[in-house]
Structure 1
Amino acid sequence: MDDPKNILELTDSNYIAFMEETDSVVFIDFYSDTCAPCQTLLTYLPNLALHYKEKNVVIAKVNSAINPKLSNKFMVRSVPLTVVIGKDKMVKRAEAGLLAMASYFKMIDKELGTSKGFFSKLF
């Protein structure tokens, strides 16, 4: 389950080429090696990658300290920062801070159009 090969490492140098080639929903985690909440979120990524491996979703991470161009592009002011980019290559959602894992599933599901909403849990 903790297969790091399923997590794409985006950088200042590979981001543009990746985005030009992909037709997937992209979930990006901006993190820092010195941030405790970031380290927790990094442990969530393999679960997200495993859950969405059959879907058109890419789970990616960006070390904000060593990728200043990408961090500036996304206006990263604090980490962790998670971003969902739609198939149309537009930012659909951005959340700062560590959330519950279920919140990340909801962010991605909403963009995939598989979000069931509150009432589905009642029936």
Structure 2
Amino acid sequence: MSSIQHLNDQNFRAFIETAHQPVLVDFWADWCGPCKAMAPILEQLVDTFEGRVTITKLDVDANPETTAQFNIRSIPSLILFVNGEPVAKHPGFASLKQTQAFIEREL
């Protein structure tokens, strides 16, 4: 069973650029209700996409540099990175099926 990795301003770029598979980043905050609702959905998807996608989280309050770099204006926001580059963005809450379909469309 894999777990969600937590990224920050210091390790974000290196992690995204050296990943051997696509990386999904959940931009979130502890005070955000919809973000908390996304957490169990992402936990389920870690196992579903094991070996195909790495699922990560980045706290927008603690990491303003990366948050600003990707123009995050609403949370939760999901960005899928392939070969270090953002290929798709999904702002707002999404159900399990919607999130799974968002990821699969880009693989």
8 A contact 1:84–1:107 mirrored in 2: no
**Structure 1 runs of 4+ off > 4 angstroms?**
none
1:110 shift after superposition: 1.4
Higher RCO (CA < 8 A, seq sep 6+): 2
Unaligned runs of 5+ in 1: 113-123
CA RMSD, Structure 1 to Structure 2 (Å):
1.4
Between the aligned partners of 2:32 and 2:72, the Cα distance in structure 1 is 14
Choose between structure 1 and 2: higher strand proportion.
Answer: 2
Q: Does 1:41 align with 2:38?
A: yes
User: What amino acid maps onto 2:84 in structure 1?
Assistant: K
Equivalent position to 1:6, from 3, 6, 9: 3
5 Å-filtered alignment, 1:1-123, equals 6-53=3-50, 55-86=51-82, 88-112=83-107
Q: Secondary structure at the match of 2:46?
A: helix
1:30-55 CA-to-partner distances (Å, cap 9, x unmatched) read 001111000000121110101111x3
Q: Which of these two proteins has the greater Rg computed from alpha carbons?
A: 1
TM-score normalized with structure 2 length: 0.92
Letter in 1 for 2:94: L
Count of aligned pairs:
107
Q: Secondary structure at the match of 1:56?
A: coil
Q: Identity percentage over the alignment? A: 27
